[in-house]
Amino acid sequence: IHQGMTSSDVLDTCLAVQLTRASDILLADIDALLAALKRRAFEHKDTVTIGRSHGIHAEPTTFGVKLAQAHAEFSRCRDRLVHAREDIATCAISGAVGTFANIEPYVEEHVAAKLGLKPEPVSTQVIPRDRHAMFFATLGVIASSVERLAVEIRHLQRTEVLEAEEYFSPGQKGSSAMPHKRNPVLTENLTGLARMVRSMALPAMEDVALWHERDISHSSVERMIGPDATVTLDFALARLTGVVDKLLVYPENMEKNLNKFRGLVHSQRVLLALTQAGLSREDAYRLVQRNAMKVWEHGA
């Protein structure tokens, strides 16, 4: 096999096959998550809850909208991964410095066709690592989306809020010391896993700047982050799908939290009504805010 080729021709092409196949697994994971999000979003399309900005009550929304937002985000994640897969599905069998000096280009074309890859248009001794950097950066973005939904669920499970909660199976323990605890352990775990996947994007970017036609500084990095990033994200997506699928939702608590400040969250509607009645916006804002602050301070 070593006729006019270099080791990188084989190794880089094999890595491309591995990463494209890993991408297919991850795409299937995202599809399963999207299906779960869609089902739960329709289930709660009319479940009214309070929207929060800066952690403070803002205006009403629905829990279905929250899940629809996550569905839209993971749809974008899927699109990004499709493009990253296309970019990484590249082979190079062009010899020691990429010039085809001792091997014919048709060999590269034949191998690419057999493996479902495309030839690298202009290679050195290796496939340029900007492709790999984009691939692992995409995994990092997907992991961040996993974390965003996980953190949302963690906040909603706080005792003072308790609008949604991870499924807690019979016999499960929340705390070794406090038997009453029902901790959001799965979404906390997902937060940590997302940090790990994101951390692997940076060394992939540092692999781009190899010396001249090639050095070996990228090899040790890719041997670790290749399997670790893809397997970790695969596990995280599967776990998040399970969390969404079994998520406990409490509409009664949502209604109670929504009404906590006795209609204060409709202040913008009052503001607009006053401006439409002829008040200047500044005067209307000042009037509504003055009365709203009384509710904040005195609860009435």
**Residue 183 in tokens:** 């901790």
Name the active-site residue from 7, 175, 219, 280: 175
The C-alpha atoms of residue 176 and residue 27 are separated, in whole angstroms, by 37
The C-alpha atoms of residue 43 and residue 68 are separated, in whole angstroms, by 11
- Which stretches does DSSP call E strand in the chain? 48-53, 56-62, 90-91, 118-119, 164-165, 248-249
Name the active-site residue from 2, 53, 54, 298: 54
Measuring CA to CA, how many Å separate 61 from each of 47, 48, 67, 71, 258? Answer: 8, 6, 11, 16, 10
How many other C-beta atoms can be found within 10 angstroms of the C-beta atom of residue 219?
13
The C-alpha atoms of residue 9 and residue 57 are separated, in whole angstroms, by 58
Whether 43 and 83 have beta carbons less than 8 Å apart is answered as no
Helix (H, G, I), strand (E, B) or coil at 63: helix
Residue 54 falls in the annotated catalytic set? yes
Residue 110 falls in the annotated catalytic set? no
Please list the active-site residues.
Answer: 54, 175
